[in-house]
Amino acid sequence: MSLVDYSTARQSNGNARASRVLNIQPGLWLAWGVMLLALLAAFAPGLFTHFSPTEGVPGAQRLPPQAAYWLGTDQLGRDLYARIIYGASQSLSAAVAAVAMGLIGGTTLGVLAGAMGGRTENWLMRLVDVLLSIPSLLLSLSILILLGFGTVHAALAVGIASIASFARLARGEVVRVRRSEFVEAAYGSGGSFWRVLWRHILPNSLTAVIAFAALQFGQAILALSTLSFLGYGTPPPTPEWGLLIAEGRNYLATAWWLTTFPGIVVVAVVLAANRISRQLAGGDA
């Protein structure tokens, strides 16, 4: 290939990549933008506001949205925008921990069941079936009552409740890949069980699991917000999205913003996680 042909080929490839980027739907760009802003707020809340999330301003109770307080103030004169921003740290870190626990625990069980088969698969999947027969919120509440209240324990409860879903999906993917011709060829060429598992089965089974983890991130936020709303999360005055909605429900008639804005944030982040999950799963861009 001549230098001119090589340059032309590179330019063509670059144009193709640019075209794929430009063809991404606006909804996906918006989803990534919402998720990045939420994560940035969780790790660097000081970049978004200079107000304290726990200290109120005398005489500023339940002020509506205005120039000084963008989203209004709560019943104690605390800036609602600041409480939402700082609440991202509690809500998102707990959701990440819950998804990580479900991903690691569930994938381990599912991979072992799918790869080993036989009695091991039967016993593990019967356990998974039992866990799946219990509503996830009820299971989370039961675990949380045993462990005690708080954000850490809530994350543990939600994570444990999601293990069965990850295990079922991982097992199905491993069984599908295990029956492929290239896996049989790897065994035929003398590959050991663990070598074939690590080099061939796992890499080709995790795409769907990772996409499901993105979906579960949104579900974890909803579950944790629900537990916090019910009073099982972080105690006041530490802000948490579910707690903010719970605190504002008593003022719906006179201070609608106390529940509306935290609710919008929760819905936006959950929808963003669902949209990103669809992309990772190979759906429409």
Q: Is the pLDDT of residue 209 over 80?
A: yes
> Is the pLDDT score of 156 beyond 80?
yes
Mean pLDDT (the chain, rounded): 84
The three-state secondary structure class of 245 is helix
Backbone angles phi, psi at 73, to 5 degrees: -125, 165
Average pLDDT over residues 37-56: 90
Q: Is the pLDDT of residue 15 over 60?
A: no
Q: How far apart are CA 223 and CA 17, in angstroms?
A: 38
| pLDDT at residue 178 greater than cutoff 90 | no
Structure confidence at residue 5 (pLDDT): 47
> How far is the C-alpha of 272 from the C-alpha of 37, rounded, in Å?
11
On whether the CB atoms of residues 223 and 212 are closer than 8 A, the answer is no
Give the mean model confidence (pLDDT) for residues 80-87.
94
Average pLDDT over residues 136-151: 89
pTM over 0.85: no
> Which pLDDT score is estimated for 206?
83
The answer to whether 124 and 167 have CB atoms below 8 angstroms apart is: yes
pLDDT of residue 20: 52
Query: 178 or 168: which carries more pLDDT confidence?
Result: 168
Is residue 179 classed as helix, strand or coil in its secondary structure?
coil
| Per-residue pLDDT at 7 | 44
Confidence at residue 155, expressed as pLDDT on a 0 to 100 scale: 93
Percent pLDDT > 70 in the chain is: 90
- What does the pLDDT read at residue 2? 45
Q: What pLDDT is stored for residue 92 in this prediction?
A: 92
What pLDDT sits at residue 10?
43
Q: Which domains does the chain have, with CATH numbers?
A: 30-280 (1.10.3720.10)
Tokens of 122: 């039967």
Residue 40, class by beta-carbon neighbours within 10 Å (0-12 exposed, 13-18 middle, 19+ buried)? middle
Average pLDDT of span 131-140: 90
pLDDT band of 24, cuts 50, 70, 90: low
Residue 120 binned pLDDT confidence (cut-offs 50, 70, 90): confident
Give start and end residues of each alpha helix (H) in 23-53: 26-43
